[in-house]
């Protein structure tokens, strides 16, 4: 009964963890075998009998009977005198099975057993959690804000699993309160010291793709395919969609009447501006669509170096570049081409790189960030517009414009 009572006390861990009784018994056997190895040097000659239904466990040590003066290994052999104390009719050469009580292992060994059992159950639990979330990588998951740290938000799901939403994987406009439900994609799962570290992301392109699956029935049903997604989280995104059914307008189905279908996605992403475009294998047409809302006049594609020269009317250039250069940057990421914008009909222009003797390199880089890499591309915009698009001071912009004007006057 003492074995049974102790096993039942150990079994209390089963109630706190998602672990079935059979698995618990298997863990118990492993724990007890380790204890036997420590006490007797080997567990090879021990039988451990477990009854999962009753939660009972018996340990039997098997030894060979030898003459009283011939015992060399007390774990494997038993003297004839000692054997006959168990059963009076034992003879030399026979096998003796003797039950080992847990109390025989000693109090310290039992405490160590208990600690080892806790450790093994946690390890089993963590392995199951790791496997569960490894299968969920790339899927949308919802969890509740538990507490907010400087560099991350800690979330808990319904099962009490901890999920980390790092600051850099939050949309810039995200603001969370304790108890609030948060959606994101499971981006990665790693074991850190046997504990699973689950990372959620709201900035990954996969999050937007999965939102399309959740919110747009035709995408969920496979009638529309999301081919590519690129994002500048919280600012702008471009999504290329396609349908194998010619009767379906993939863009119209995703956007909905007056944007009704995509509105929920935009709101979830902190009012991120989402351009939905028709995917095509025609490179020229795909590049042209990717620069929407700008209208491209013509282009020269260099497939070998993955570069393209795009020519637009002067009034279309700012649309192609977009606020902060976001539109042209995302178009490049979506198509896989480095896009150079040129104004149609402008014969003579000078690269900004030619002015490094007169304009600081960091200033030139600021203009390049928003897609302005030639003299005329800057001169075509007024100072007020350039102030809005860059982080430069008005005095700096005026000085640059003066230098560039002088170049053409000369």
Global confidence as pTM = 0.63
- What are the pLDDT digits (tens) for 182-196? 999 999 998 887 788
pLDDT bin (cut points 50, 70, 90) of residue 11 is low
CB 45 within 8 A of CB 61: yes
| Long-range CB contacts for residues 64-69, cutoff 8 Å, separation at least 24 | 64/93, 64/94, 64/95, 64/96, 65/90, 65/91, 65/92, 65/93, 65/94, 65/95, 65/96, 66/92, 67/92
- Once rounded to an integer, what is the mean pLDDT over residues 207-227? 94
Q: What is the rounded average pLDDT of the residues 64-82?
A: 86
Q: What does the pLDDT average to over 65-92?
A: 86
Mean pLDDT for the stretch of residues 296-304 = 92
Strand residues in 167-214 grouped as ranges (E):
181-192, 195-201
Mean pLDDT of the chain: 85
Answer yes or no: are the C-beta atoms of 335 and 365 closer than 8 Å: no
pLDDT attached to residue 53: 58
Asked if pLDDT for residue 28 goes beyond 90, the answer is no
**Dist. CA 88–CA 214, nearest whole Å:** 76
Beta bridge partners of 231: 237
| Calpha distance 274→185 (Å, rounded) | 18
Residue that is written with structure tokens 């057993």 in the block: 113
The pLDDT of residue 358 is 87
pLDDT for position 10: 52
CB 274 within 8 A of CB 263: no
Segment 117-134 mean pLDDT: 78
Could you check whether the bond before residue 106 is cis, i.e. omega within 30 degrees of 0?
no
Structure-model confidence comparison of residues 4 and 225, the more confident one: 225
Residue 7: its pLDDT value, please? 54
Is the pLDDT reported for residue 229 higher than 70?
yes
Least confident of 64-78, 93-107, 224-238, 302-316: 93-107
Residues 254, 240: Cα–Cα separation, whole Å: 11
DSSP conformational letter for 358: T
Which pLDDT belongs to residue 368? 85
Q: Residue 86 CB: number of other CB atoms within 10 A?
A: 13
**Per-residue pLDDT at 410 exceeds 60:** no
Say whether pLDDT at 102 is over 70: yes
Q: Does residue 26 or residue 220 have the better pLDDT? A: 220
**pLDDT of amino acid 255:** 93
DSSP character for 226? E
Predicted confidence at residue 348, as pLDDT, reads 67
Residue 328 in contact with residue 312, Cβ under 8 Å?
Answer: no
Residue of 244 and 6 predicted with greater confidence: 244
Residue 362 corresponds to which tokens in the numbers above?
A: 């960091």
Angle, CA 17 vertex, CA 16 and CA 21 arms, to 5° = 105
Q: Which of 72, 92, 68 is nearest to 81 (CA)?
A: 68
Greater model confidence, 94 or 331: 331
Residue 200 Cα distances to 109, 184, 197, 230, angstroms = 42, 6, 10, 18
Rounded mean pLDDT of 264-276? 94
Look at 350 and 274; give whichever has higher pLDDT. 274
Give residue 6's pLDDT. 52
């Amino acid at each position: 009964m003492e074995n049974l009572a102790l096993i039942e006390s150990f079994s209390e861990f089963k109630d706190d963890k998602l672990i079935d009784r059979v698995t618990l018994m298997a863990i118990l056997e492993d724990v007890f075998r380790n204890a036997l190895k420590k006490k007797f040097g080997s567990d090879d000659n021990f039988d451990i009998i477990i009854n999962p239904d009753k939660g009972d466990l018996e340990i039997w040590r098997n030894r060979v009977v030898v003459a009283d003066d011939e015992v060399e290994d007390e774990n494997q052999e038993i003297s004839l005198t000692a054997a006959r104390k168990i059963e009076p009719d034992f003879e030399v050469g026979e096998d003796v099975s003797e039950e080992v009580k847990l109390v025989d292992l000693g109090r310290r060994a039992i405490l160590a057993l208990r600690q080892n059992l806790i450790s093994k159950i946690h390890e089993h639990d963590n392995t199951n959690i790791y496997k569960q979330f490894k299968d969920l990588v790339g899927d949308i998951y919802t969890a509740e804000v538990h507490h907010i740290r400087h560099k991350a938000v800690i979330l808990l799901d319904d099962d009490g699993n901890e999920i980390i939403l790092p600051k850099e994987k939050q949309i810039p406009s995200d603001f969370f309160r304790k108890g609030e439900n948060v959606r994101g994609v499971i981006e990665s799962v790693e074991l850190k010291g046997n504990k699973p570290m689950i990372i959620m992301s709201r900035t990954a392109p996969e999050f937007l793709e999965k939102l399309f699956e959740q919110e747009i029935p035709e995408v969920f049903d496979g009638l529309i395919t999301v081919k590519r997604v690129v994002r500048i989280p919280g600012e702008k995104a471009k999504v290329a969609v396609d349908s194998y059914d010619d009767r379906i307008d993939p863009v119209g189905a995703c956007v909905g009447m007056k944007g009704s279908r995509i509105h929920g996605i935009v709101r979830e992403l902190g009012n991120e501006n989402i351009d939905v475009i028709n995917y095509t294998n025609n490179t020229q047409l795909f590049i042209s669509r990717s620069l929407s809302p700008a209208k491209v006049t013509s282009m020269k594609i260099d497939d070998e170096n993955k570069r393209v020269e795009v020519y637009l009317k002067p009034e279309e250039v700012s649309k192609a570049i977009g606020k902060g250069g976001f539109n042209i940057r995302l178009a490049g990421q979506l198509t896989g081409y480095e896009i150079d914008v040129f104004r149609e009909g402008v014969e003579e222009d000078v690269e900004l790189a030619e002015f490094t003797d007169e304009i600081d390199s960091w200033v030139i880089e600021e203009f390049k960030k928003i897609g302005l890499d030639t003299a005329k591309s800057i001169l075509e915009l007024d100072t007020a517009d350039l102030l809005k698009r860059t982080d430069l001071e008005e005095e700096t912009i005026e000085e640059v414009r003066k230098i560039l004007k002088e170049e053409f006057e000369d």
